[in-house]
Structure 1
Amino acid sequence: MVGWGRGCGGSAMDRWQETVVFTESEMEVQDESDLETFLQWAAALGVSDSPVTQSEVTTCPSPFCLGHSICVSHFPDAGGRGLAAVRDIMKGQLILRVPKEALMTSESLRSKDKKLSSVLCKYPTLSSTQVLAVALLNEVNKGKVTWWYPYLKQLPRSYDILESFGRLEIEALQMDEAMWTAERAVEKGKMDWGEASVLMHELNLKPQLSTFKAWLWASATISSRTMHIPWDSAGCLCPVGDFFNYAAPGEEPYHSEILKTRRNMSPLCDTSFGKVQNAGKSIEELFDANAHRLIDAGYEEEVAAYCFYARRNYRKGDQVLLSYGTYTNLELLEHYGFLLHDNPNDRAFIPLEPDMYSLCSWPKESLYIHQDGKPSFALLATIRLWVTPVTNRRSVGHIAYSGHQISAEHEVTVLEWIVKNCGSFLGNCSTSLEEDELLLETIDKIQDYNVSMDFGDVSRACNSELSAFLEMNGRKLCGQVQICRNTRSIHRWKLAVEWRLSYKRILRECISHCNKRLEDLYS
């Protein structure tokens, strides 16, 4: 599974106050020059990736917090900046620990700033997330004098969560559900900013840090990069820990090799701070002790640190990934600003008659189509009851609820109903799946070349979107045009088209799946 997420996003927040725009090459140089300083800063706070047992620690001392188990690397086709294994790592092994003192929380920011702490007392109605956003902007406002400066410089300059989408990107989603989700996110962002504006004014933040654009940056930083902590619902920003990119749960590329690597690993190792426990236990028993983990990281009170564990076996050079949880592509786009082209947890919905929801006790969100095109258990059971005559529903209800087909003839009607409705839904979209693929190719060309382009091959269905984008950039669609690239806008537009294309592919897969089953029933 391709990894995306917290590690990606580009360069630092240096000179945010002046809203300096760097070229890509300048940002890369800045990243390289700042990274070493940041890793040294983190190491001084106790952030470490060293193995649990001293026998595994390299004999070469290092001033950096990484290099024993993982290192910062770049994965152009899998999330951008991320973390790579510098040695073979076994599933369940502790690979990074970040002490509480290194976590950026509302509490830690208030404790270091008396003015912030005093002013916040006047605004008890603000949510914990609003408080953290204001506190984050307050630190950026301090510039180089802030204690967090090395970390702030590592944060991305912009994000692509739905809250940052403009009207063009929202409309490009096409599906009502997705457009409504994006509009709700934008509206909530504006409301939160409005409620916090008085507080930001009282803190004397620089004008550019009190704008909605700055608020979007802070809000997106919190949405896409914070991790759960038990004492604050806003979560914490975790230096180094937020370099991990995302892998969807359930993806286990090396499942068959769980116990094949690192057989010589010390049986005395424990997943806490080098405690020598579990003496006499086999490596299999130690693996089993961590195999129950549903996520890869968490704050552990007994050691006062955020601890990260390998979600699977990794070979030297592999990107080490983190599972934030189970998300659909729309949820990933909403909260993290990216999507997966092959997300096993993605799903699609087709319009159902209002009365269909009363046939079952399942919630609406359970009536979906899986990423592989198979209808969910609840959706299939509901449709089986729906196509059954009302007078017969009571007598066959137990069969439908058990997940079985009522009869071969009846199942044909069910599958034909699904094929018809999926096809009708796709037919009502303003662009076809093939047109979306062609539009994506065009967007790629726009991103790759700042030269004259020929749009003659683009269908009329896509012309309105192209025209809207070009007009937004002060251009008109007329055969050939010199593109003036707005990088973030183009990328968000591309994400929207990729999302709707992925959604349509699920419906097409569903049609193929049902047609194959129909062939089996006909034969």
Structure 2
Amino acid sequence: MEVLKQNTGNIVSMLGKSIKEDNSGSLVVVKLQVLLCYGLYNNLELLEHYGFLLPRNPNDNVHIGLPDAGEFGLDTINPPMQIPGAACVEISGHPSFSLLAALRLRACHSSLRRAKGHVALSGEQVSVESDILAYKWLEKKCKSLLESLPTKLEDDLVLQKRLIPVQSFTALEDLALSEEVTSEAKEVQEFLRACTSVGEGGAADEKYGVGDKDFQLERWKLALRWRIGYKEILHRCARLCSKKILHLGG
């Protein structure tokens, strides 16, 4: 690797370290802080690619697949144009600019779409009726996504609270023995079973070593934190849509 020499102070910088020459001519390494920008990733992308996530990540979001005009009971002639940008619900629960504009265009008649489509593209309301349809669809979509998940937000929060003092796989096994039969306890049991495999003789063989099991436990905790954040975004959006519909008189 090429080492770049700076003109001032005989300092050579390489990989976040400064190499200086002392009075005797020897090289002395001075450690410096290294900063790394990961980019505009949501928590799922951070978890998948880098193995961590951020609390209240401003870039966190939930992708929403767009409907066609037929889902609003309208004609599908002259389908609405594609809106650039991410069609998603942001961490605050608000639909992104692209998502709301796309829903507004799909929730109005094609004739109105041609006449006032530019209004939606500027972030404004096309009509009260189309806004009511758009927010009703989005509220239903968020609730549908939540209902399709195998666990509820309330159960996840209880499980997360119970896992806070658990710092090792052995401690998790002790917790499982003391737990009552609840949905959270069942998930703990499923995780414990996933860390073992059944041998040919029917006996459970160790699938991971002790250190590996502790690592799997931390990964599971991170996954739990992510799905809590995912569900919280959907709940915020559903509440916001309900308020918008009420305000619009729908």
TM-score (norm 1): 0.35
Partner of 2:221 in structure 1?
494
Letter in 2 for 1:387: A
Partner of 1:435 in structure 2?
155
- Over 3 Å counting, the alpha-carbon distance change for 1:450 and 1:45 in structure 2 is closer
- Over 3 Å counting, the alpha-carbon distance change for 1:359 and 1:43 in structure 2 is closer
Question: Does the alignment pair 1:388 with 2:93?
Answer: no
Correspondence list, 1:235-254, <5 A: 241=34, 244=35
SS of equivalent to 1:339:
coil
| 1:327–1:346 CA contact under 8 A, matched in 2 | yes
Partner of 1:48 in structure 2?
18
| 1:43–1:65 CA contact under 8 A, matched in 2 | no
Question: Does the alignment pair 1:371 with 2:91?
Answer: yes
- Over 3 Å counting, the alpha-carbon distance change for 1:335 and 1:449 in structure 2 is closer
Tell me how far 1:333 sits from its aligned partner. 1.4
Among 383, 393, 398, the alignment partner of 2:118 is: 398
Partner of 2:74 in structure 1?
none
Distance 2:126 2:83 in 1: 20
SS of equivalent to 1:400:
helix
Partner of 1:359 in structure 2?
80
- Over 3 Å counting, the alpha-carbon distance change for 1:387 and 1:473 in structure 2 is same
SS of equivalent to 2:242:
helix
Tell me how far 1:334 sits from its aligned partner. 2.1
Correspondence list, 1:300-315, <5 A: none
Letter in 2 for 1:382: A
| 1:43–1:64 CA contact under 8 A, matched in 2 | no
| 2:117–2:126 CA contact under 8 A, matched in 1 | no
- Over 3 Å counting, the alpha-carbon distance change for 1:499 and 1:380 in structure 2 is same
Report the identity percentage.
36
Question: Does the alignment pair 1:469 with 2:191?
Answer: yes
Distance 1:45 1:472 in 2: 41
Partner of 1:455 in structure 2?
179
Correspondence list, 1:12-31, <5 A: none
Coordinate RMSD, CA, aligned: 3.4
- Over 3 Å counting, the alpha-carbon distance change for 1:494 and 1:360 in structure 2 is farther
1:222-277 per-position Cα deviation (integer Å, ceiling 9, x unaligned):
xxxxxxxxxxxxxxxxxxx3xx4xxxxxxxxxxxxxxxxxxxxxxxxxxxxxxxxx
Partner of 1:508 in structure 2?
235
Question: Does the alignment pair 1:414 with 2:160?
Answer: no
| 1:48–1:65 CA contact under 8 A, matched in 2 | yes
1:472-500 per-position Cα deviation (integer Å, ceiling 9, x unaligned):
3459xxxxxxxx78111111111112111
The aligned length equals 208
Distance 2:142 2:111 in 1: 27
Letter in 2 for 1:48: S
| 1:435–1:459 CA contact under 8 A, matched in 2 | no
1:422-467 per-position Cα deviation (integer Å, ceiling 9, x unaligned):
11111111111111112222333432684422222x742x455322
Letter in 2 for 1:360: M
1:195-247 per-position Cα deviation (integer Å, ceiling 9, x unaligned):
xxxxxxxxxxxxxxxxxxxxxxxxxxxxxxxxxxxxxxxxxxxxxx3xx4xxx
Distance 1:400 1:500 in 2: 32
Tell me how far 1:348 sits from its aligned partner. 0.5
SS of equivalent to 1:341:
coil
| 1:368–1:379 CA contact under 8 A, matched in 2 | yes
Distance 1:380 1:45 in 2: 44
Letter in 2 for 1:487: D
Tell me how far 1:325 sits from its aligned partner. 1.8
Distance 2:161 2:167 in 1: 10
Partner of 2:3 in structure 1?
none
TM-score (norm 2): 0.69
Question: Does the alignment pair 1:333 with 2:20?
Answer: no
Letter in 1 for 2:39: G
Tell me how far 1:49 sits from its aligned partner. 9.0
| 1:370–1:376 CA contact under 8 A, matched in 2 | yes
Distance 1:494 1:515 in 2: 32
Distance 1:45 1:417 in 2: 51
Gaps of 5+ in 1: 1-41, 51-61, 71-82, 84-240, 245-321, 476-483
Letter in 1 for 2:187: E
Correspondence list, 1:182-221, <5 A: none
Distance 2:15 2:189 in 1: 52
| 2:83–2:102 CA contact under 8 A, matched in 1 | no
SS of equivalent to 2:248:
helix
Distance 1:389 1:455 in 2: 56
Distance 2:99 2:15 in 1: 52
SS of equivalent to 1:415:
helix
SS of equivalent to 1:369:
strand
Tell me how far 1:419 sits from its aligned partner. 1.2
- Over 3 Å counting, the alpha-carbon distance change for 1:517 and 1:390 in structure 2 is same
